[in-house]
Structure 1
Amino acid sequence: MRTLLSVATGPPTILLTTALVVVLCFWLLVAAGFTSVGSFDADANLRAWGMDGVPVAVAVSTLTAVAWFLSVGGVLLLAACAPPCPATGLLRMVLPVAVLPVAWRLTCLLVRPLHRLFPDEPAPPERGEARDHVDQAA
């Protein structure tokens, strides 16, 4: 437990831990009724990121949680399996940044089936639809 706490609050994972705390506070505000899930939908378009079809809060929350779990899990695995040395310390600093593209791709896969739960959000276009739309615009 002590190792988990030190990894979650140690550099640079503390940045993702802070983001996760912000996400949890947001969802507590949603549960209390002070805000809604769609609060940020007018501010951002996630189509370019491959996460459209769900509210922005859901996509960003999922991305934050996945990145945090991958980062903490990777650093814990590194601490358990690798001997303490300068290379291990460097890997520990690089790992939270390196998991971000993996977390983004996993988030895209996780939010894709969720668009059915949010019918008021525009669904992601099918591959053929996007190509037809581009051909019609040209």
Structure 2
Amino acid sequence: MRTFLAIATGLPTILLTAALVVVLCFWGLVAARLTSTYSFDADLDLRAWGMGGVPVTIALSLLTALAWSLSVGGTLVLVAFTSPGLATGLLRMFVPVLALLAAWRMSRLFVRPLHRLFPDEPELSGLGRTEGRDRVHMDHAA
């Protein structure tokens, strides 16, 4: 357990740990109904990254959780099967980068079946991207 905590809170994995904490706090706000799943859809389009079709919050949450899990798991394997040294230290710096790339590829695969669960446009009754988009168009017209 001590090794796990040291890896999760050590450099460079701490960056992904901080991102995971932000994601968990966001979903806590969604659970408390203080924000919406579609909160950032007007701000960011993930189709160019191959993760379109679901709310941005879901795609990036999935990416973050997978990247953190792969980074911690990869570093644990590295620590368990290699001896401490300069080469191991350098490899530990690349594990989160490789984990992020692998998580992106995996997220693209997981998002495809999730697309059917989400309509192209959210309902107008909640905080949705259509409201934000209309507001932006009104601001530019004024």
Band the TM-score falls in, shorter-chain normalisation: 0.7 to 0.9
Task: Specify the alignment match of 1:79 in structure 2.
Answer: 79
Q: Which runs of 4+ in 1 moved over 6 A?
A: none
Mapping of residues 81-100 of structure 1, within 5 Å: 81-100=81-100
Query: What percent identity do the matched residue pairs reach?
Result: 70
Per the alignment, do residues 108 and 41 of structure 1 end up closer, same or farther by CA in structure 2, a change over 3 Å counting?
same
Q: Secondary structure at the match of 2:64?
A: helix
Query: What secondary structure does 1:37 align onto?
Result: coil
Query: What residue is the counterpart of 1:42 in the other structure?
Result: 42
Question: Counterparts of 1:118 and 1:65 in 2: how far apart (Å)?
Answer: 20
Structure 2 stretches of 5 or more lacking a match? 123-142
Unpaired runs of 5+ residues, structure 1, are: 123-138
Q: State the Cα deviation string for residues 94-133 of structure 1 (Å, max 9, x = none).
A: 11112221110000001110011112359xxxxxxxxxxx
Q: Which residue of 2 aligns with 1:130?
A: none
- What is aligned with 1:104? 104
Q: CA deviation at 1:70?
A: 0.5
Question: If each structure's helix is expressed as a fraction of its own residues, which one has the higher value?
Answer: 1
* Amino acid across the alignment from 2:86: P
Q: In 2, are the aligned partners of 1:55 and 1:121 still within 8 Å (CA)?
A: no
Give the whole-Å Cα distance in 2 for the aligned partners of 1:65 and 1:93: 19
Please give the TM-score of this superposition, normalised by the length of structure 2.
0.83
Q: CA RMSD in A?
A: 1.2
Paired residues in the alignment total: 122
Using structure 1 for the length normalisation, give the TM-score.
0.85
Partner of 1:61: 61
